[in-house]
Chain A
Amino acid sequence: MKSKKLSETIIKTFKTNGFVLSEPDVLLDSDYIIERSGEKFRSSMLTFDREDGKTMCLRPDLTVASCISFLQKKTSSKIYYSGQAYRRSGGKGTNFINDQLGIEILGSKNKIQDDFKVINTILSSAKKIKRKKILIKVGDISLFKSLINSLDMPERWKLRLIRHFWKPSYFEELLKRLEKNTDIDAVTFDADKKRFYEMKKLDQDKVVAGRSISEILKRFDKKIKDPRSFVDGKKIVKIITSFLKINCKLSELDEKLLDFAKKNNLKKLNQDVNFIANFGRDVEYYTGIVFEVFSGKNEIARGGRYDDLLKSLGAKKNIPAVGAAINLKNI
């Protein structure tokens, strides 16, 4: 009963702030989700085969389900949801049912305004359910990307570090390799020049296993030109780890970042952003601001900006979005 009352209070705040109820489908096309979210998702989904052979799953997450519903033009762009999501989370005896309560702004045009709107709405709901001292932690994934892009290292290393930022343990492994200058490509690179010239004479639009000859040759060429080894691995790792250590009050942030930028001579980091750097690193789809709201030691809400998710779910163009969810279990 108590938790029902809490949800009602929170929902009331959502509504007052202009968010409209979205009720996404409970059953979704499993192949569609895997196509978009990857094999890793498969093991956590609860699926069954329909009579016509189609594999369906219970919605594993309400953000993804709401995005799908939005793309099917079933909802407006500023929504809230309140319901259950279903997934396995490893470990025996864990609950399959997750109560989720959250808000999203899909197709968010004014990023700064919408980021603020989402954080502010979540914060005022948190305050309504009177808790211990409330603390917000903020990060920004895009700042990490700017940092990496400003560093002097081979292109493939930049891409690798950015792609795997959301998987902290694998990221650590990458940093170790970078530090020792052991490239994953260290195996002697056979420049199969002969075949390269033969293939140049072929029809460049011919497709081999889904990739055109021109695509293959272009990447081959680029690969030869990208330097195999470089000296500064250690220095670069130091910069990255010192960046990830930044953790300070908003009011001190300018100074800290400036100090960081000065020390490492990273002029490209000239951004006016506030945050904790090593943050929001467990969700693949976040692209910009990420935040968590704490009450005492409990995380009671989290969210962030995910500008690429809707496109990967099938939207024809980029649809920027930002959202957050309340963690009812910790309230």
Chain B
Amino acid sequence: MKDLITIGLPSKGRLKDNAISFFNDRGLKILQSEKERNYFGTIENKPNIKIIFLHAKEIIQRLGDGTLDIGVSGLDLLKESDINLQGKINIQRKLDFGNANLVIAVPDDWIDVQTIADLEEVSFDIRSKRNARLRVATKYPNLTNNFLISKGVTQYKLIPSLGATETYPFIGSSEIITDITSTGKTLADNNLRLLKDGLILSSNACLLFAKKKATKLQPFLKSFG
């Protein structure tokens, strides 16, 4: 079908539910397969639209390679992705769910560290005393790197993490972390604290589309404002 539009939606959790409501609220009723674990869906009375449920990170990738035309995913994941990939994706609009902040967190007991400037000094301390670099564990190496360098912090080393990053400072895998948080509870429960000027990115869910398909999608996208 020539005018087929493929939309990628998050496959799990609140992000999935909110994304579905967003379409439903605009009269685009999403129909999911009766098979509970099936990844495909449709929109009522719109035979030219195909819905695919994917991991939020995957949605960014597939928008970039043209598999998807439209997608809902997090701003954090878009900004973290490869710069060439970002160039292929446009933000149609920000959505009012999926709010979360990417922040720097340090152990509660580092009472002398309240700001990035403190962190910068401590990183030099570690460098001169132990000839090592301050280790920063993160799931967001690109955003973290750009942020720290822009704030004049240079004496650090990134430790890539896949999950439970909050444990890293206490098991000797890193000194500090950056992580995504919406309420701050997980950080607090794990004896971590935010820096006063340590907000890297304020993220939320976004309606995205593949730049290449802009002309074809314009009539459809208009209805979302």
| Interface of B, helix, strand, loop or mixed by DSSP | mixed
Q: Which 7 A/B pairs are nearest by Cβ-Cβ distance?
A: A209-B169, A184-B117, A220-B112, A219-B112, A187-B196, A210-B175, A208-B109
Contact in complex: A185, B115 (CB < 8 Å): yes
Measured in the bound complex, the distance between the Cα atoms of B196 and A189 in whole Å is 10
Kindly list chain A residues whose C-beta atoms are within 8 Å of the C-beta of B157. 34-35, 38-39
Q: Does B188 contact A (CB under 8 A)?
A: no
Could you list 11 A-B pairs, sorted by A, with CB under 8 Å?
Answer: A34-B157, A39-B149, A160-B117, A174-B152, A184-B116, A195-B111, A208-B110, A209-B169, A211-B110, A219-B121, A220-B111
CB distance from B146 to the nearest CB of A (A): 10
Q: Cα distance A189–B114 when bound, in Å?
A: 8
Neighbouring B residues of A210 by C-beta, 8 Å: 126, 135, 169, 172, 175
The distance in angstroms between the C-alpha atoms of A167 and B175, with both chains bound, is 26
- Within 8 Å by CB of B133, from A38, A174, A184, A284, lies A38
Q: Name B192's closest neighbour in chain A (CB-CB).
A: A209
A-binding residues in B (CB < 8 A): 106-107, 109-112, 114-118, 120-122, 124-127, 131-133, 135, 145, 148-149, 152, 154-158, 169-170, 172, 174-176, 196-197
Question: Are B133 and A170 in contact, CB atoms less than 8 angstroms apart?
Answer: no
**Contacting pair A216 B109 (CB below 8 A):** yes
Let me know if A38 and B121 touch, CB within 8 A. no
In the bound complex, residues from chain B placing their C-beta under 8 Å from that of A174 are 152
Which residues from A are CB-within-8-Å of B109? 195, 199, 208, 213, 216
* A196 and B156 form a contact (CB under 8 A): no
Nearest-Cβ distance from residue A157 to partner chain B, whole angstroms: 10
The CA-CA distance from A43 to B145 in the complex, in Å, is 10
B residues in contact with A156, CB < 8 Å: 117, 121
State in angstroms the CA–CA spacing of A287 and B116 once bound together.
Answer: 25
Interchain CB contact under 8 A, A35 and B133: yes
Contact between chains at A208 and B145 (CB < 8 Å): no
- A158 and B150 alpha carbons, distance in the complex (Å): 20
Contact between B110 and A35 (Cβ–Cβ < 8 Å)? no
Grouping DSSP codes into helix (H, G, I), strand (E, B) and loop, the A interface class, with mixed when no group exceeds half, is helix
Determine the distance from Cα of A217 to Cα of B125 in the docked complex, in whole angstroms: 14
Contacts of A195 in B (CB 8 A): 109, 111
Residue numbers in A under 8 Å from B148 (CB-CB):
39
Number of A interface residues in the complex (CB < 8 A): 38
Residues in A neighbouring B175, C-beta threshold 8 A? 209-211
Report yes or no: A159 in contact with B121, Cβ–Cβ below 8 A: yes
A159 touches B124 (CB 8 A): yes
Known: A170-B152, A209-B175, A209-B176. A187 touches B132 (CB 8 A): no
> Binary interface profile of A, 20-44, with partner B (CB < 8 Å = 1, else 0)?
0000000000000011001110010
Q: How far is the CB of B210 from chain A (nearest CB, A)?
A: 22
Which B residues are CB-close (under 8 A) to A187?
Answer: 114-115, 196-197
Q: Which residues of A contact B135 (CB under 8 A)?
A: 210
Return the chain B residue nearest A174 by Cβ: B152
Question: B134 → chain A, closest Cβ, in Å?
Answer: 8
Q: A residues within 8 A CB of B111?
A: 192, 195-196, 199, 216-217, 220
Closest residue of A by beta carbon distance from B131: A312
| CA distance in complex: A40, B133 (Å) | 13
For the complex, is A223 an interface residue (Cβ under 8 Å from B)?
Answer: yes
Residues of the A chain whose Cβ atoms lie less than 8 Å from the Cβ of B112: 216-217, 219-220, 223
Max chain A C-beta neighbours (<10 A), residue from B125, B133, B155:
B133
A164 in the interface, Cβ–Cβ < 8 Å? yes
Q: B133, A185: Cβ atoms under 8 Å?
A: no
CA distance A167 to B149 in the complex (A): 11
A39 touches B117 (CB 8 A): no
Q: Which residues of B contact A311 (CB under 8 A)?
A: 131
